[in-house]
Amino acid sequence: MKNISIYVNQHKDRFLNELIELLKIPSISADSAYKDDVIKTAQVVKTRLEEAGCDHVEICETDGYPIVYGEKIIDNNLPTVLVYGHYDVQPPDPLILWNSPPFEPVIKKTDLHPEGAIFARGACDDKGQMYMHVKAMEFMTKTNQLPCNVKFMIEGEEEVGSSNLAVYVKENQKKLKNDVILISDTGMIAKDVPSITTGLRGLSYVEVEVTGPNRDLHSGLYGGAVANPINILTKMIASLHNENNHITIPGFYDKVENLSKEERAEMAKAPFSLEAYKKSLDIDAVYGEAGYTTNERNSIRPTLDVNGIWGGYTGEGAKTVIASKAFAKISMRLVPHQDWEEITQLFKKHFESIAPKGVTVNVKPHHGGQGYVTPIDSIGYQAASKAYFDSFGKTPIPQRSGGSIPIVSLFEQELKSKTILMGFGLDSDAIHSPNEHFGLFNYYKGIETIPLFYKYFTELSK
Ligand code: BES
Ligand code: MN
Ligand code: MN
C-alpha cells in the first residue's frame, strides 16, 4: 500500500484527538445510569464512519443499545470484509485505584510504552482498537486504495453479552454477507512479537444464591445451631476444585478437546518468561491446574472462578450477625467442543446437589457463549500474516487467547464465515482493570497493518 506510514504520521495528532473525544464519553453498558452516554457514543461512531468514507451509515435500534452499521460497496465481484467492534466499555470501578479519572484520557509514558500510552476506560477494549479500523478505512478511501468491499458493524453491548446483536445477526444475514470477519478486540504477545489470535474461550456465567433462615439472626443466639449461608456457600465453592485444581463438576471435562503433544510443543515455543510474569503481578508463585503450563492453563484449559461474593455485614466496625442469604457470581471459561448451555446445566445440577440440608440454593444463569478456533491455513489468516510481516518485519505467531468474544461463534454459525482476530493490545494494558491504557505505538501500528490485510485478502481471494 502506498504511503500508509506517511499518512498515519501526517495525521497522527488528529487520529489521537479523535480517539480522546470518543474515550471521554462514559459508554458503560452495564450501568443504566449511563444510558444517554452509550447512545451518544453510537452517534459519534456513526459520524466518524461517515467521515471515513462509509455509505449508508445507520443507527440500528435493538431492544438494547443500538448497532452502528456502515458500508462501502465498490464492486460486487470483489470480496467483502466485515469489521466488528464494540463501543461500550466496562464499568471503571473501583475509581479510587485510578491514577487519573477513567473518562478524562491522558497520555503517559510507561516502561513498556516509552513513546506514550493513552490512559482511559476503553482505550484498548475496545474503543482504541475499534477506532484503528475507522482510521484505516479513512486512509484507504482518501488515497483511493480501498481494494474490496467493507461493512462495519459496531455494537454497544459486548461487555454485557451481545444478546441483541445475536438477534440482529440472525435477522440480517443477507445484509451482513461477507467473505471474512475482521476484529481487533484481543491482544498480541509483545510489541516486538506480533501474534494472531486463533482461539477464544467460551463462557458460562452464573449467579448463585444460598438461603438459610428466613431473616438475619443474632450470631450469638443462633450461631452453631443453624446453617450459616456464607459458611455453606464458601464451603460449596471450595469443593468445586480438587487438590490438583481440577474442576469437580461431574461431566465438566467430557467434551474438552485434548491437544496433541505436537500442538502443545508448538504452543510452548511462543516467547514467555514465568519470572517476568510473576514479577508483573507481584506474586511469588503461579497457581492452577496440575499438569499444565501457565499459558496452557489460561488458553486451552477450562476454568472456574468466583468473580464476586457477598452477604452479611461489610460496613465499618463489627456486627454480630448470621445473614439470611449469601451470593456469588461465578464464571466458567470453556474450550472448544464444550457447549456453554450444557455446562451451565451441569453446574446447576451439581451445585444444587451439594447443598446440605438447612439451606436452599438458587442458580441463575446469566449469559454465555461458545469458544472459537480458527485454522491457520485460511486465506484470511494468510492475509493477516502477510500484513503483520510487512508492518512489523516479522511473521506473527498464532496464539490461543483465554478471553471470550461469544458472538464470534455465532457469526460463523449464522454468516458462515471465519473470523480473523488481529489484536494489538498487550496483557499489561489492564483491560477491565483500573488504569486501562493503550500504547500509541500499538494504536498507530494497528492503523498501518489493517489496510495491508485488505490488500492481501483481496489478492489471495482471486
Ligand atoms: N475484548 C474482550 C475479550 C478479549 C480480551 C479476548 C483480550 C481476548 C483477549 C471482550 O471485550 C471481553 O471482555 N469479553 C468478556 C466476555 C463478555 C461476554 C463479557 C470476557 O472475556 O470476559
Ligand atoms: Mn472487547
Ligand atoms: Mn471487555
In a domain, 429, yes or no: yes
The answer to whether the CB of 295 is under 6 A from ligand 1 is no
Strands 67-72 and 55-60: antiparallel
On average, the pLDDT of the chain sits at 97
Same domain, 349 and 400: no
Strands 149-155 and 80-86: parallel
Domain boundary among 317, 334, 369: 369
- Residues pairing with 369 in the sheet: 203
Same domain, 434 and 452: yes
Question: What is the mean predicted confidence (pLDDT) over 430-456?
Answer: 98
Buried b (16+ CB within 10 A) or exposed e, 29-39: beeeebeebbe
pLDDT of 35 over the 90 cut: yes
> What pLDDT band is residue 106 in, cutting at 50, 70 and 90?
very high
Q: Kindly give the number of the ligand 1 atom that is closest to the alpha carbon of 404.
A: 21
Q: Determine the pLDDT at residue 241.
A: 98
- For residues 437 and 124, the answer to whether their CB atoms sit within 8 Å is yes
Q: Determine the pLDDT at residue 387.
A: 98
Q: Determine the pLDDT at residue 425.
A: 98
Pocket test for ligand 1, best of 84, 121, 158, 421 (most atoms within 8 A of CB): 158
What's the domain range around 211? 202-256+302-369
Report the predicted TM-score, pTM, of the whole model to 2 decimal places: 0.93
In a domain, 275, yes or no: no
Pocket test for ligand 1, best of 185, 205, 334, 340 (most atoms within 8 A of CB): 185
The answer to whether the CB of 138 is under 6 A from ligand 1 is no
- For residues 422 and 383, the answer to whether their CB atoms sit within 8 Å is no
Same domain, 83 and 214: no
Q: Rounded CA gap, 87 and 128, in Å?
A: 9
Same domain, 244 and 378: no
Same domain, 100 and 46: yes
Atom 16 of ligand 1 has which residue's CA nearest to it? 404
Give the Cα-Cα-Cα angle 272, 406, 253 (nearest 5 degrees): 70
Taken in order 103, 91, 199, 380, the sign of the CA dihedral is: negative
In a domain, 104, yes or no: yes
Q: Rounded CA gap, 327 and 336, in Å?
A: 29
Tell me how long the chain is. 462
The answer to whether the CB of 186 is under 6 A from ligand 1 is yes
Residues of the chain above pLDDT 70, percent: 100
pLDDT of 397 over the 90 cut: yes
CA 435 to ligand 1 center in whole angstroms: 17
Q: Rounded CA gap, 61 and 52, in Å?
A: 22
pLDDT of 181 over the 90 cut: yes
In a domain, 409, yes or no: yes
Distances from the Cα of 130 to the Cα of 7, 211, 271, 397, angstroms:
19, 43, 27, 22
Ranges of H-type helices in 200-260: 229-238
User: For 323-352, what is each residue's pLDDT tens digit?
Assistant: 999 999 999 999 989 999 999 999 999 999
pLDDT of 367 over the 90 cut: no
In a domain, 288, yes or no: no
Same domain, 353 and 380: no
Q: Rounded to an integer, what is the distance from CA 377 to the centroid of its chain? A: 24
Same domain, 422 and 309: no
Same domain, 401 and 333: no
Same domain, 353 and 389: no
In this structure, the number of other CB atoms found within 10 A of the CB of residue 94 comes to 9
Q: Rounded to an integer, what is the distance from CA 134 to the centroid of its chain? A: 19
Question: What is the mean predicted confidence (pLDDT) over 152-165?
Answer: 96
Locate cell 468474544: which residue?
405
Helix, coil or strand: residue 339 = coil
The C-alpha cell that represents 451 in the structure block: 489496510
In a domain, 311, yes or no: yes
Domain boundary among 317, 346, 369: 369
- For residues 134 and 140, the answer to whether their CB atoms sit within 8 Å is no
User: For 123-151, what is each residue's pLDDT tens digit?
Assistant: 999 999 999 999 999 999 999 999 999 99
- Residues pairing with 199 in the sheet: 373, 400
Domain boundary among 316, 348, 369: 369
Question: What is the mean predicted confidence (pLDDT) over 98-108?
Answer: 98
Same domain, 15 and 163: yes
Locate cell 451441569: which residue?
346
Find the CATH number of the domain harbouring 358. 3.30.70.360
> What pLDDT band is residue 289 in, cutting at 50, 70 and 90?
very high
CA dihedral 376, 378, 384, 388 (to 10 degrees): 40
Q: Determine the pLDDT at residue 76.
A: 96
User: For 69-88, what is each residue's pLDDT tens digit?
Assistant: 999 999 999 999 999 999 99
Locate cell 513498556: which residue?
112
Q: Which of 435, 236, 215 shows the shortest CA–CA distance to 328?
A: 236
Per-residue DSSP letters for 103-164?
A: TS-EEE--SS-TT-EEESTTTTTTHHHHHHHHHHHHHHHHTT---SEEEEEEES-GGGT-HH
Same domain, 223 and 186: no
The C-alpha cell that represents 288 in the structure block: 492452577
Same domain, 42 and 10: yes
Buried b (16+ CB within 10 A) or exposed e, 128-145: bbbbbbbbbbbbbbeeeb
**For the chain, what is the domain count?**
2
The C-alpha cell that represents 311 in the structure block: 452477604
Question: What is the mean predicted confidence (pLDDT) over 104-127?
Answer: 97
